[in-house]
């Protein structure tokens, strides 16, 4: 086996361990809150990476799906009194149908045209959410009911007893977000390692090669577009329940750009890389609170610098550097011996 | 890889009697006003090695792209195993047993050599979405088999040193052979090779010749576009000569070599 850091390292147990130990190092509820939000967004980005990193199809409108999931949960639980899980599933189904319908014509496009089409799609959905105030509360936003699971309400303001231990709602939420992230990574990696994932990466590598060996490339592009949209929708639903209040900002163009920047910065086609990207870019605004007005500029700058200096992204670039430092194992085939 | 093993006697009588594997009738394709392929007809028999030659710009690659569904023909018919296939996309043709390589390599550089060949097994694998999502044992078993088959094919084409290498790190000659391995992984009944020897040195070309012979011996019909006349004359059962998109000549290598029209076209007479 060729040495391939970090995808071939048992990444999932390592990630689980990090997520398990993390609360020990988090000083207060505020840190825990940030960690929870990061986990939810990271899970979204893991889904987006399937489309952008592995499939090579750009989406500049992914926050729209995130926003739709968030608003579907908020409206169905708030206005219509549904419980959380059916509302979440209904939102995901809605997003899946929409992504499938829009994806069919959009994914025929390539490169810049595809980017523009997804950008337009995202903006339209954001405008609808902004303008249909009777349903969504408009620019003022919408309060969201706490998450209910099997009749029990999970609120960050309550305390719960779990196996005889007193646990804060915030800590339970962190645990839930961590589990969701692990699940998102597990599913994404299963998919990537399967014939479906191989076909998808081939679409990125050489679409014509994929087609001549029988891969129905339009089918796989559409499939992964829908999957990544559903990832965003489900995480949007949880995000809405967690924060308790959402505004059209969650579906905005700016949010789409944040998500794609996480993928590009962390490393396209590297699941752990994009998690790292999400962590860094979510922490950045916390570190630069004085420069809040320049946040979009910072994202733009990061995107540009990444493309210029490490187009493969942070984690792949780092792991390559580590590999180069290490003495070459004798078992790997020496290239260039032809 | 062991279907329709047939000894091909290349006399004209036999040609008429056998049913063709691939038949092209009145095929035409124009780009702007240029007729890249013009009213072209020929038949390829099961098990033969059939070469398409001609000067640069004669329409050889266009012909390949028409046959393999990358281009839509303007006129004419193509039938594969008696079934009309003109205008079908490449992914459908792959199901019918057609596979090909490319003049300018089409290798997935974001994958390893092994993964490129495993991709070739795509149609033969379980592709159940839920099974993939949840990593079911049946899927893992089928992936293991697929991996073993792909490794075997990589060794078959002589790239055994590169099984786990990233495709992007492989030398050109090895990539050429890797592409053949991927095409073979689809278990084709007909394999189209677009300039397989282009860019290879004489040792590599000799190895390629052996490889094509092995493939043909396995019962796969081989169609190749090639400029290396030594290779063409040595391995082909029949040769089609194209000039300005039209058939200039067709016959055994000996007949082609002695054909005055061919000599004129090549020497600019």
Residue with more model confidence, B60 or A4: B60
C-alpha span between B8 and A170 (Å, rounded): 77
Pick A277 or B57 by higher pLDDT. Answer: A277
Average pLDDT over residues A69-94: 96
Residue B29 main-chain phi, psi, to 5 deg? -150, 125
Q: Is residue A336 included in any domain, yes or no?
A: no
Check CB contact under 8 Å for A2 and B166: yes
Is residue A309 situated within a structural domain?
no
Alpha helix stretches (DSSP H) within chain A: 11-25, 29-49, 62-78, 84-106, 111-131, 133-136, 169-193, 195-205, 207-212, 217-243, 253-266, 271-287, 295-309, 314-325
Is A206–B108 a contact, with Cβ atoms under 8 angstroms apart?
A: yes
Residues of B in contact with A205 (CB under 8 A): 107-111
pLDDT of residue A4: 43
Q: Is the pLDDT of residue A336 over 50?
A: no
For residue A161, being part of any structural domain is answered with yes
* Any domain includes A106: yes
Q: Is B9 on the interface with A (CB under 8 A)?
A: no
Q: Look at B16 and B197; give whichever has higher pLDDT.
A: B197
Question: What is the Cβ-side half-sphere exposure of residue A290, based on CA atoms within 13 angstroms?
Answer: 0
Sheet holding B75-80, edge to edge: B34-44, B22-31, B75-80, B83-84
Is residue A281 in some structural domain? no
Domain membership flag for residue A206? yes
Q: Name every chain B residue with its beta carbon within 8 A of the beta carbon of A2.
A: 112, 164-166
* pLDDT tier for residue A214 given thresholds of 50, 70 and 90: very high
Q: How far is A223 from chain B (nearest CA, A)?
A: 10
Residue A137 forms part of a structural domain: yes
Mean pLDDT of A149-172: 84
Q: How confident is the model at residue B211 (pLDDT cuts 50, 70, 90)?
A: very high
In a domain, A290, yes or no: no
pLDDT tens-digit readout, B149-167 = 999 999 999 999 999 999 9
Q: How many domains does chain A have?
A: 1
Q: Assign A327 a pLDDT band (cuts: 50, 70, 90).
A: low
- The mean pLDDT of B42-51, rounded to a whole number, is 95
* A335 confidence band (pLDDT: 50, 70, 90): very low
pLDDT computed for residue A29 by the predictor:
86
pLDDT the model gives residue A7: 43
Q: Give me the pLDDT at residue A334, please.
A: 43
Which of B111, B133, B174 is nearest residue A201 as measured by Cβ atoms? B111
Percent of chain A with pLDDT over 70: 93
Question: Residue A152: its pLDDT value, please?
Answer: 82
pTM: 0.88
Domain around A192: 4-253
Strands (E), chain B: 22-31, 34-44, 49-53, 75-80, 83-84, 98-100, 190-194, 221-225, 238-243, 246-251
How many angstroms separate the CA of residue A160 from the nearest CA in chain B? 32
Cα B96 to Cα B51, B65, B188: the distances in Å are: 21, 16, 8
Check residue A290 and report its DSSP letter.
G
Which pLDDT does position B56 carry in this prediction?
Answer: 85
């Amino acid at each position: 086996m060729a040495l391939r850091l970090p995808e071939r390292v048992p990444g999932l147990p390592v990630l689980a361990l990090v997520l398990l130990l993390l609360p020990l190092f988090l000083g207060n509820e505020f840190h825990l809150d940030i960690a929870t939000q990061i986990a939810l967004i990271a899970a979204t980005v893991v889904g987006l990476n399937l489309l952008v990193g592995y499939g090579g199809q750009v989406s500049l409108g992914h926050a729209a799906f995130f926003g739709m999931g968030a608003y579907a949960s908020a409206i169905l639980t708030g206005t219509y009194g549904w419980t959380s899980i059916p509302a979440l599933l209904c939102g995901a189904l809605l997003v899946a149908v929409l992504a499938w319908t829009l994806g069919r014509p959009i994914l025929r496009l390539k490169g810049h045209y595809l980017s523009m089409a997804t950008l337009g799609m995202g903006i339209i959905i954001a405008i609808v959410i902004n303008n249909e105030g009777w349903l969504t509360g408009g620019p003022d936003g919408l309060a969201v009911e706490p998450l209910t699971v099997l009749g029990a309400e999970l609120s960050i303001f309550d305390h719960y007893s779990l196996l005889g231990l007193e646990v804060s709602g915030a800590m339970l939420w962190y645990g839930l977000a961590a589990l969701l992230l692990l699940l998102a990574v597990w599913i994404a990696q299963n998919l990537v390692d399967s014939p479906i994932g191989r076909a998808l990466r081939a679409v990125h590598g050489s679409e014509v090669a994929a087609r001549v060996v029988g891969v129905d490339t339009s089918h796989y592009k559409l499939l992964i577009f829908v999957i990544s949209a559903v990832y965003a929708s489900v995480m949007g639903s949880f995000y809405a329940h967690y924060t308790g209040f959402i505004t059209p900002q969650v579906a905005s163009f700016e949010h789409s750009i944040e998500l794609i920047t996480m993928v590009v910065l962390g490393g396209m086609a590297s699941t752990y890389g994009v998690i790292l990207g999400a962590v860094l870019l979510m922490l950045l605004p916390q570190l630069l609170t004085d420069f809040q007005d320049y946040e979009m500029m910072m994202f733009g700058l990061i995107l540009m610098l990444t493309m210029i200096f490490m187009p493969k992204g942070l984690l792949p670039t780092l792991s390559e550097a580590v590999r180069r430092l290490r003495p070459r194992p004798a078992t790997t085939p020496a290239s260039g011996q032809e | 890889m062991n279907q329709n093993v047939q000894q091909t006697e290349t006399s004209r009588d036999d040609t008429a009697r056998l049913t063709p594997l691939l038949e092209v009738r009145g095929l035409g394709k124009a780009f702007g006003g240029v007729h890249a392929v013009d009213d072209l007809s020929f038949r390829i028999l099961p098990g033969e090695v059939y070469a398409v030659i001609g000067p640069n710009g004669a329409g050889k690659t266009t012909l390949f792209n028409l046959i393999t569904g990358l281009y839509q023909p303007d006129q004419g018919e193509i039938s594969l195993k008696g079934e009309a296939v003109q205008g079908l996309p490449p992914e459908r043709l792959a199901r019918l047993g057609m596979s090909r390589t490319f003049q300018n390599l089409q290798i997935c550089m974001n994958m390893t050599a092994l993964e490129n060949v495993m991709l070739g097994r795509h149609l033969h694998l379980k592709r159940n979405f839920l099974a993939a999502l949840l990593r079911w044992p049946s899927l893992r078993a089928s992936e293991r088999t697929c991996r073993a088959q792909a490794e075997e094919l990589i060794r078959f084409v002589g790239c055994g040193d590169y099984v786990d290498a990233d495709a992007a790190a492989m030398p050109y000659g090895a990539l050429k052979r890797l592409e053949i391995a991927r095409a073979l992984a689809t278990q084709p009944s007909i394999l189209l090779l677009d300039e397989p020897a282009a860019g290879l040195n004489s040792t590599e070309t000799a190895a390629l010749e052996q490889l094509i012979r092995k493939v043909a011996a396995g019962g796969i019909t081989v169609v190749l576009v090639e400029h290396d006349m030594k290779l063409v004359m040595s391995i082909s059962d029949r040769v089609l000569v194209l000039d300005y998109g039209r058939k200039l000549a067709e016959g055994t290598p000996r007949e082609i070599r002695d054909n005055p029209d061919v000599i004129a076209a090549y020497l600019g007479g």
